[in-house]
Amino acid sequence: MIDATQLLNASILIVDDQEANVMLLERMLSNAGYTQVTSTMDPFAVGALHLANHYDLILLDLQMPGMDGFEVLEALKLIEPDGYVPVLVVTAQPGHKLRALQAGAKDFVAKPFELVEVETRIHNMLEVRLLHRQLNRYNQQLEHQVMERTAELRASEARFQRYAELSSDWYWEQDAEGKLSHWSGPVMDMVGIGAGAADGWDVAERATLEANIAERKPFLDFVYRRTAANGKVQYLQVSGEPMFDEASRFVGYRGVGRDVTAMAAMFAASN
């Protein structure tokens, strides 16, 4: 929310070629407690002033010599980075009101002034303007946080994959259809994930592993074996976890594995 201090400290520019009107608006704003009020009677100076100060509100007279308020509005559109032109137009011509709004003004007051109405419209416009800026800042902060978090997640995933590669013989990922999508090491040769069943696998162990995957269950240090044509038995240890996207849809598996044949032989020898 916007508090009273923020409103009264908002920056306001008065643009009118009539000194009496400028003085009247300055006095009204000062009496209302506004502290950051400046003015100019030169419409050609408005663009440069707003570029330098980015006022929270511009009180703009439409009928001025040399450069009228409609031309000033067009110039301000080129300056506003967020496309919000904070202009309250002042006009004595009822037919100019709609045209001014179509040109980008956010509100209008009619001459001769009714000071209560002017003050109310200024208060309302400033509140909307400051809320608009607050929302833009929040969106920028949120976008920055999302970018930072995304970078952290990518770095974390890269560290995990590197750790997995260093601590195992292979790293693998497969898609929802069971096809290998990413891997390191001799996965195809050693395991045959995504390549169909290979001769020599222990049928019961292989069925248990495939059942875990079919049921989207994680598995840790699952050991299974296959027998080569020469009768040599190879023992493999694999761990894996299911992966899901932001909508909780299953998108595949990832995991690590290693050849533990030597370890199995040592264990058998010790017994």
pLDDT confidence tier of residue 46, bands split at 50, 70 and 90: very high
pLDDT tens for residues 74-84? Answer: 888 888 766 67
Closest CA to 73 of 89, 57, 92, 53: 89
Can you tell me whether residue 32 is helix, strand or coil?
Answer: coil
Higher-confidence residue: 227 or 41?
Answer: 41
Domain with CATH 3.30.450.20 in the chain: 168-270
pLDDT tens for residues 195-251? Answer: 444 567 788 887 888 888 888 889 888 888 888 778 888 888 888 899 998 888 999
Which CATH number applies to 168-270: 3.30.450.20, 3.30.420.40, 3.40.640.10, 3.30.1490.190? 3.30.450.20
* Residue 15 confidence (pLDDT): 94
Question: How far, CA to CA in Å, does 31 sit from each of 24, 100, 118, 144?
Answer: 11, 28, 13, 41
pLDDT tens for residues 135-162? Answer: 878 888 888 888 888 888 777 776 666 6
**Contact predicate 72/60, CB 8 Å:** yes
Q: How is residue 173 written in tokens?
A: 């990922």
Domain with CATH 3.40.50.2300 in the chain: 4-141
How many whole angstroms separate alpha carbon 189 and alpha carbon 110?
83
CATH topology of domain 4-141: Rossmann fold (3.40.50)
Neighbours of 237 (CB within 10 A): 19
**CB neighbour list of residue 246: distance below 8 Å, 6 or more residues apart:** none
Q: Is the pTM of this model over 0.85?
A: no
What single-letter DSSP state applies at residue 63?
Answer: -
* Residue 197 confidence (pLDDT): 44
pLDDT confidence tier of residue 192, bands split at 50, 70 and 90: low
* 232 phi and psi angles, rounded to 5 deg: -75, 135
**Can you give the length of the chain in residues?**
271
